[in-house]
Structure 1
């Protein structure tokens, strides 16, 4: 399921950022990516994302990250190591998987991510988990 088809797109204010390689939704609590079929996420793509979201990164805002992987694409897990070393933005990450292969890839990435990374079976599970992290527990986001 795409983010815009989920109940949360009607409940949470967001900004949609479009790229040649996919879409990223920016909320107060998390960034959610929906990348295109068949791409390979490499240093060029992460550099473009870092450039576009530099305002969040430079302000030291802490947010969650959700990869909604309804499309199949490849990801260099070493990017997590490099990103975590250079930036301390994400409090946690969730990867929504739709196949056993995608789940296995997420399991590999989990070994490279230095913070909490949850593998989820639905976008709702991922968003619920991110919103219920202690860093975001406030009256305003309780359902």
Structure 2
């Protein structure tokens, strides 16, 4: 299920659309949808990282959900590079809608040094991620 078709679409504070991905920023969760056939690397994540710092600040707890509505490749070691400089990500939900995708996630989880879980439902991924993240007080003041 695409995020924009979900019951959570109205909760997006900001959206970042790039040629290779769309990122949705919720109160304390970033949801990515990477385009078909892309090899997603840390370098391609930099625009999302910079926008997240602007929205959430540099020390807020954030969850990240990879909503894999398309087939694409990930450089697993880039997860380790990412977490070296971005320890504010406290939970990672990996959503896949195919059996092969769910199997690939098992391998990828080895490279993610934070709380990680695989899902076949975006709804379950959002609920689980929210349960792992403290509310962002800075953002609550802005939207509350």
Q: TM-score range by the shorter chain?
A: 0.7 to 0.9
Structure 2 unaligned segments of length 5 or more: list them.
Answer: none
Is the contact made by 1:42 and 1:76 (CA closer than 8 Å) also made in structure 2?
yes
For residue 54 of structure 1, report the CA deviation from its aligned partner: 3.7
* Structure 2 counterpart of 1:37: 36
Cα distance in 2 between the residues matched to 1:41 and 1:2: 18
* Structure 1 counterpart of 2:87: 88
Cα distance in 2 between the residues matched to 1:134 and 1:46: 21
RMSD: 1.9
* Structure 2 counterpart of 1:129: 128
* Structure 1 counterpart of 2:8: 8
For residue 51 of structure 1, report the CA deviation from its aligned partner: 3.5
**Could you tell me the TM-score, scaled by structure 1's length?**
0.86
Cα distance in 2 between the residues matched to 1:48 and 1:59: 15
SS at match of 1:95: strand
SS at match of 2:31: strand
Cα distance in 1 between the residues matched to 2:90 and 2:76: 18
Cα distance in 1 between the residues matched to 2:18 and 2:99: 27
Cα distance in 2 between the residues matched to 1:40 and 1:20: 13
* Structure 2 counterpart of 1:59: 58
* Structure 2 counterpart of 1:106: 105
Give the 3 Å change call, closer, same or farther, for CA 8–51 of structure 1 in structure 2: closer
How many pairs does the alignment contain? Answer: 136
- The superposition leaves residues 24-81 of structure 1 with CA deviations (integer Å, 9 ceiling, x where unpaired) of 0001110000110000012331233333434257621211000000100000010111
